[in-house]
Amino acid sequence: MRNVYKLLFAAALLLSQTLFAQKDDTIRILAVGNGLSAEAVTRDLPGYFEAAGQKVVLAYAVRLSSDYAKQAELARSGAEGFSYSKLSGNGTWTEERKVSLAAALADEKWDIVSLQTQSAQAARRESIDPGLGQLLKFVRKRTPKSVRIMYFQTWPYANQSTKHWMAFGHNNVNMYPQIAATSKEFCEKYSLEVIPVGTAIRSLRTSFSMQGDITYGDHLNKTMGAYLCAATFFEAVTGLDARDYTDAYAPYTLENHVRREMAAKCAHYACLKPFEFTNMSSGTGTYGSVEAGLPNYDETLVPQYTLPDPLVMNDGSPVKGIEQWEGERREELLELFRSEVYGHSPARREGQHYKIVKEDPNAFGGMATRREVLIYFDSSEDRYIRLMTYVPNGLEGPAPAFLLLNTSGNASVNEDTNISYPDEHQLIQYEIHGFPYYGQYRHFYPLELILSRGYAFLTFFKSDCDPDFDDGFQNGIHPYIYKEGQTFPEPDQWGSISAWAWGMSRVMDYLEEGQTEVNAAKVSTIGHSRAGKTALWAAAQDTRFAMAISNCSGCSGAAIARRRYGQTVRQINTTFPQWFCRNYIKYMDNEDALPVDQHELVALIAPRPVYVGSAAGDRWADPKGEFLSLVHAQSVYAMYGYSGLPSDEWPDVRHPMIGDHMGYHIRLGRHSLTGYDWDRYLDFADIYLK
């Protein structure tokens, strides 16, 4: 039977290629199913056909949340229970109207009709028939004998999805084999071709290192997910190689050519083997895929480079003093980072306000008072940050503080079960199934040590501003602030790092306006990895922060980009596209064209103190490049009369350098935030925050 299917598939591809040989021919496709079918044909598929120079009529007839049985029931009853829309010749979709399936089938002489069941049922063979057989019988009676009826194979959900997961152990690896087996069984039983989107997605998840996922719950995201679906659908119905059109079709939602090429590659192999995913992994470990570019860990291979001078204006003239730096050059640099790297952020919202919702004056046996404060972004109270603060008791006057963006939820910071867990509304926004247990990452946050040294500790979960995966900027604060009609950030508008930094500034608003326990004039940003990038960017923009600390922040944080050591601009844009503005893509494999480099990000913190920490085993973050950013930012600190580092020579491991308004250390170990790091940061803070 497998050979019979292969022959049918080959014959269908030959037929489709013959149909497409004449450029004026039009192919007519009707997608029958539910909302997933509507998304499949409306998002990127029209663009793919246009890029190939092929005329197409696309339409969908869908019933939301329906399976084959429901679709067959509605079809046979003649009920006008399907939403129907069609892509017109001028490139616009007709307004949806309610029709019977018979009317939709009669509207055009369809070449292809795809059928799709409810995604939660796609892995359960007992749910497919008799509904599929009944629906097929209905469709075949009302379409030409030449019509190609295709089984639209859906996909396993993202692991963090909260929907329909009990039968699969909340794991898409368990769901996919059942989807593949079910679709194969019924394609063979009814001599159907398949549109193997589920296989393409499984291949991508296996082969391509990326942060997050390409599905948003049970729906594909509007970036790589939509593109992969279109590439698979296109190749399955035309027989044309989707890989040939990734340059011709580059939507603004997926400008990164590496991600387009990988999506099309997975689509192509899925069409060759529709029921068996293909593992194209390089085997180089997390974030080290061949497509993103393999890292260089050889110092002798670091290219020659010339850094831009932070004290030279855009027009080439030198900065003549502090007044010109603060009045002109600083704003020039901020604008370059905003427009080319992190993206512009909006101002605070009108109606921003605060509410203390929980308080414990006896945290750690009376050592501190713990509070939870909701920072509402505006008067609507639809979106908010849940700020958690620990303030040491018994201090004379308000406490200096560290503000740290946490990446796993406030409850992960400490094992105290009185800390609020995310509510259902937040979990829906985050699209998270399960959560770290109380105190799971407490080793990152030695609260008793911090409090005993006389500092307050402030933190909030990054997803309160933007969940950290590529969802097309739909589930964070971005759409909350979009202009009317806007669905995606402009090329120079904020990514996730700017959204998180924006949230840190909203915390500073609260410290200035809503409390007296923390000294708002003595707050240091601090962060590890992506949060370290955020800590630097937040302090660079918002001069209310008194100090900035970056721990293992690496590429696009403290490390010099032009060194191309460890993680590169290509790799970080490919793996974490949501972090930056779209303009940053221009500098993949093109770092020398950057109008800025990360030493200028450090310089923007001047004259305030800055500390950078590295780890010897964290080559991915380029520890030497992190140190060199401090070295090359010293000229700006010198303008204020500060000498900076005690030496320009990269120090040995565990020999911290505490200079004049600058600090640095490199420790043993790998990518983490450790007790050794905190000891150094607290010593530095004792000098400048007390």
pLDDT (tens digit per residue) in 371-380: 999 999 999 9
6 pLDDT exceeds 60? no
Question: Tokens 């029209």 correspond to what residue?
Answer: 46
Q: What share of the chain is helix, strand, coil (3-state, %, to 5)?
A: 40, 20, 40
Residue pair 569/557 in contact by the 8 Å Cβ criterion: no
Q: Over 80: is that where the pLDDT of 3 sits?
A: no
DSSP per-residue letters across 582-636: GGGGGGTT-GGG-S--HHHHHHTTTTS-EEEEEETT-GGG-HHHHHHHHHHHHHH
671 as an active site residue: the answer is yes
In contact, 202 and 176? CB cutoff 8 Å: yes
Do 104 and 84 touch, CB atoms closer than 8 A?
yes
Q: What are phi and psi for residue 166, nearest 5 degrees?
A: -60, -35
Alpha carbons 34 and 65: distance in angstroms, whole number: 6
Q: What are the structure tokens assigned to 573, written together?
A: 């844009």
Quick: pLDDT tens for 58-107.
999 999 999 999 999 999 999 999 999 999 777 889 999 999 999 999 99
- Determine if the peptide bond prior to 595 is cis (ω within 30°): no
CATH (one of 3.50.30.30, 3.90.226.10, 3.40.50.1820, 2.40.110.20) for 339-349+406-442+465-688: 3.40.50.1820
Helix axes 224-238, 2-21, angle to 10 degrees: 90
How many helices and strands, by DSSP H and E, does the chain display?
22, 19
**Residue 415 contacts by C-beta under 8 Å, 6 or more apart in sequence?**
438, 439, 442
> Per mean pLDDT, which range of 86-95, 485-494, 614-623, 645-654 is the poorest?
86-95
Dist. CA 343–CA 335, nearest whole Å: 9
Residue 257 to residue 247: CA distance in whole angstroms: 7
**For 157-177, what is each residue's pLDDT tens digit?**
765 555 555 556 556 677 889
pLDDT in tens, 425-436: 677 667 665 667
Is a pLDDT exceeding 60 seen at residue 129? yes
2-272 with 339-349+406-442+465-688: one CATH topology? Answer: yes
Give me 99's structure tokens. Answer: 């029709």
Q: What's the pLDDT at 22? A: 41
Say which CATH architecture domain 2-272 belongs to.
Answer: 3-Layer(aba) Sandwich (3.40)
Residue 405 and residue 662: Cα distance in Å, rounded? 22
Q: In the chain, what are the domain boundaries?
A: 2-272, 339-349+406-442+465-688
pLDDT of residue 169: 56
Pairing between strand 518-528 and 610-615? unpaired
Catalytic residue among 344, 408, 671, 672: 671
Contact present, 101 and 74 (Cβ < 8 Å): yes
Catalytic residue among 85, 203, 496, 529: 529
Burial 447-456 (b: 16+ CB within 10 A, else e): beebbebbbb
Backbone angles phi, psi at 524, to 5 degrees: -105, 135
> Which tokens go with 527?
């962060």
What's the pLDDT at 224? 92
Tell the residue number behind the tokens 């939509």, with chain if given. 226
Does the pLDDT at position 21 exceed 50? no
Q: Left, alpha or beta for 408 (phi > 0: left; psi -120 to 50: alpha)?
A: alpha
CB of 673 within 8 A of CB of 444?
A: yes
Question: Is residue 469 over pLDDT 90?
Answer: no
Distance CA 426, CA 92 (A): 35
**283 Ramachandran zone, left/alpha/beta (phi>0; psi -120 to 50):** left
The Cα 363–Cα 41 span in angstroms is 55
Q: What are phi and psi of 36, to 5 degrees?
A: -65, -35
Is 665 annotated as catalytic?
Answer: no
- The percentage of the chain sitting over the pLDDT mark of 90, rounded to a whole number, equals 80
Residue 213 confidence (pLDDT)? 65
What pLDDT sits at residue 662? Answer: 98
327 DSSP 8-state letter: I
Alpha helices per DSSP H over 418-491:
424-430, 447-452, 478-481
Separation CA 100–CA 323 (nearest Å): 72
Question: Residue 279 has what pLDDT?
Answer: 84
